[in-house]
Amino acid sequence: MTQAGMTVWQDSVGNICGRYEGEQEGAPAILLGSHLDTVRNAGRYDGMLGVLAAIEVVHGLHPTGAEAETGH
């Protein structure tokens, strides 16, 4: 998450959180989230893939300085 350009912290219940700041103050935020769980055989797309997909979206924005289109 740090390599993707995020500020990273752990909250009081153990969640790992990351924030990637845009350049335009007051612009709408994009929220990405996922989880890891202990369900065995929960499906191909459950768990780590969702976590990695969210990080990769931010990583794709970071090196280019790209910002998401907000329509404003």
Read off the tokens for 27.
């612009």
Tell me if the pTM is above 0.85. Answer: no
Quick check: is 25 in a domain? no
Read off the tokens for 9.
């912290």
Tell me: pLDDT of 63 over 80.
no
Quick check: is 26 in a domain? no
Containing structural domain, residue 62: 1-19+34-66
Contacts 24+ apart (CB under 8 A), 13-19: 18/55, 18/58
Tell me: pLDDT of 3 over 60.
yes
Per the CB < 8 A criterion, the answer to whether 62 and 4 are in contact is yes
Label residue 63 left, alpha or beta by phi (over 0 means left) and psi (-120 to 50 means alpha).
alpha
Quick check: is 40 in a domain? yes
Number of domains in the chain: 1
In three-state secondary structure terms, 10 is strand
Q: For residue 50, what pLDDT is reported?
A: 81
User: How many helices, marked H, and strands, marked E, lie in the chain?
Assistant: 1, 2
Quick check: is 15 in a domain? yes
